[in-house]
């Protein structure tokens, strides 16, 4: 078949770092360019996904250089060796990588070689028989309700404090991802109906999420008494519709949201590992502990698969065991 690169021009993605004639790096670079272009414009993958592919394939390229492997020389044993090196922190890795990261990097290499096989550039995909590294299942980190309440009630009543209270109430009240929170516009929130319309969820899927009275009240106070003052601090058109603004009046960034939570957590003496996602985990765990149906929680979180949500049931099960062992008269033998 005619290589796609003859039909369109793509800039070099992974510049050559070796002059060895045994490694036809320009060909690998060209194929990577083709793969990334196809992923972005034909498969419609997000910019973040394409960038992750780019970074992962840069590491794979370094491995091929080390082993003097041409693009068509790769065999399953090479892929397996590559994954083992990543797991142990050996070159081309600069440190020991988690199993989840190694698994993701295999997915990148596998997607690349599947593309080459489909394009007729290779007779067979060398990654098809390579298994994904086993991942240890880690439970989501959730904090007790009393700590959530301490965290949410910690901001002062000043301008930014009212904003921070609204941020924390919304993260926990709706179980939002940090990316969903900072992308909210004023028009996405129905304060009268108690609904947040999440229009920029993961995978570009929209959903409606209800928020309780506490979050509704906090956002209402912020919108009426704090946001107008913050909005006057900038003339940028791009941030005019943003719900949560920074101290300069621009749209609050992910980093800014992290800073807010970190400051509040430190103020009340919570673990430094508390993150915006901690409140999302706590939202799901507390909902299930309260008797919510797992499919309802799945819908609220915006999970495409119930399997993703089921990990929270393990948290709830552990909580049930704690209560049982501390309460049942014969639990301790």
pLDDT beyond 80 at 292: yes
In contact, 164 and 264? CB cutoff 8 Å: yes
CA distance 202 to 261: 22
CA distance 80 to 92: 14
Q: What is the pLDDT of residue 195?
A: 85
Q: What is the pLDDT of residue 18?
A: 39
Q: How confident is the model at residue 246 (pLDDT cuts 50, 70, 90)?
A: very high
* Catalytic-role residue among 177, 227, 251, 264: 177
Q: What is the pLDDT of residue 240?
A: 83
To the nearest whole number, what is the mean pLDDT of the chain?
83
Q: What is the pLDDT of residue 333?
A: 57
Q: What is the per-residue pLDDT across 66-93, written as a single tens digit (0 to 9) for each?
A: 999 987 899 999 999 999 999 899 999 9
pTM of the full structure: 0.57
Strand-pairing partners, residue 190, are: 195
pLDDT beyond 80 at 138: no
* Catalytic-role residue among 162, 280, 281, 286: 280
> Which residues contact residue 146 at a Cβ distance below 8 angstroms, ignoring those fewer than 6 apart?
none
- Pick the range with the lowest mean pLDDT from 14-18, 216-220, 269-273: 14-18
Residue 303 annotated as catalytic: yes
Q: What is the pLDDT of residue 320?
A: 60
Residue 312 annotated as catalytic: yes
pLDDT beyond 90 at 112: yes
* Catalytic-role residue among 85, 165, 264, 303: 303
* Catalytic-role residue among 54, 104, 141, 202: 202
* Catalytic-role residue among 82, 172, 222, 312: 312
Q: What is the pLDDT of residue 139?
A: 59
Higher-confidence residue of 315 and 216: namely 216
Q: What is the per-residue pLDDT across 52-72, written as a single tens digit (0 to 9) for each?
A: 999 999 999 999 999 999 878
CA 103 to chain centre: 15
Q: What is the pLDDT of residue 24?
A: 44
Q: What is the pLDDT of residue 3?
A: 46
Please list the alpha-helical segments (H only) found in the chain: 25-37, 47-66, 76-88, 99-118, 145-152, 159-174, 178-182, 213-225, 227-231, 254-267, 276-289, 294-301, 306-327
Residue 68 annotated as catalytic: no
Q: What is the pLDDT of residue 203?
A: 56
Q: What is the pLDDT of residue 21?
A: 39
Q: What is the per-residue pLDDT across 147-192, written as a single tens digit (0 to 9) for each?
A: 999 999 999 999 999 999 999 999 999 989 898 999 999 999 998 8
Q: What is the pLDDT of residue 328?
A: 65
Q: What is the per-residue pLDDT across 224-237, written as a single tens digit (0 to 9) for each?
A: 999 999 999 988 88
> Which residues contact residue 196 at a Cβ distance below 8 angstroms, ignoring those fewer than 6 apart?
170, 174, 176, 184, 188, 189, 190, 208, 209, 210, 211
Q: What is the pLDDT of residue 11?
A: 35
pLDDT beyond 80 at 307: no
Residue 113 annotated as catalytic: no
* Catalytic-role residue among 87, 104, 254, 277: 277
Residue 277 annotated as catalytic: yes
- From 5, 59, 50, 49, select the one nearest 30 (Cα to Cα): 5
Percent of the chain at pLDDT exceeding 90: 47
Higher-confidence residue of 33 and 13: namely 33
Q: What is the pLDDT of residue 298?
A: 85
């Amino acid at each position: 078949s005619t290589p796609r690169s003859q039909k369109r021009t793509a800039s070099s993605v992974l510049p050559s770092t070796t002059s060895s004639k045994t490694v036809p790096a320009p060909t690998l670079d060209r194929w990577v360019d083709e793969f990334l272009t196809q992923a972005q414009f034909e498969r419609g993958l997000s910019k973040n996904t394409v960038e992750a592919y780019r970074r992962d394939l840069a590491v794979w390229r370094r491995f091929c250089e080390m082993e003097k492997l041409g693009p068509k020389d790769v065999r399953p044993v090479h892929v397996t060796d590559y994954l083992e090196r990543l797991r142990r922190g050996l070159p081309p890795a600069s440190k020991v990588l988690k199993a989840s990261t190694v698994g993701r990097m295999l997915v990148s290499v596998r997607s690349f070689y599947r593309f080459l096989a489909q394009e007729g550039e290779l007779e067979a995909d060398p990654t098809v028989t390579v298994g994904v590294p086993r991942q240890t299942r880690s439970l989501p980190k959730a904090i007790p309700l009393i700590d959530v309440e301490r965290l949410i009630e910690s901001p002062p009543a000043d301008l930014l404090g009212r904003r921070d209270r609204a941020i924390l109430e919304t993260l926990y009240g709706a179980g939002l991802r940090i990316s969903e929170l900072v992308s909210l516009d004023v028009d996405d929130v129905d304060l009268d109906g108690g609904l947040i319309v999440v229009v920029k969820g993961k995978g570009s899927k929209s959903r409606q999420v209800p928020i309780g009275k506490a979050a509704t009240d906090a956002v209402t106070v912020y919108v009426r008494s704090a946001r107008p003052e913050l909005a006057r601090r900038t003339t940028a058109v791009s941030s005019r519709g943003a719900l949560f603004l920074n101290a300069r009046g621009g749209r609050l960034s992910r980093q800014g949201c992290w800073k807010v939570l970190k400051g509040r957590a430190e103020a009340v003496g919570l673990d430094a590992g508390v993150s915006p996602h901690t409140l999302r985990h706590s939202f799901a765990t507390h909902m299930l502990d309260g008797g919510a149906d797992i499919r309802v929680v799945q819908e609220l979180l915006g999970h495409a698969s119930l399997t993703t949500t089921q990990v929270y049931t393990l948290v709830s099960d552990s909580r049930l065991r704690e209560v049982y062992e501390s309460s049942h008269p014969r639990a301790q033998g």
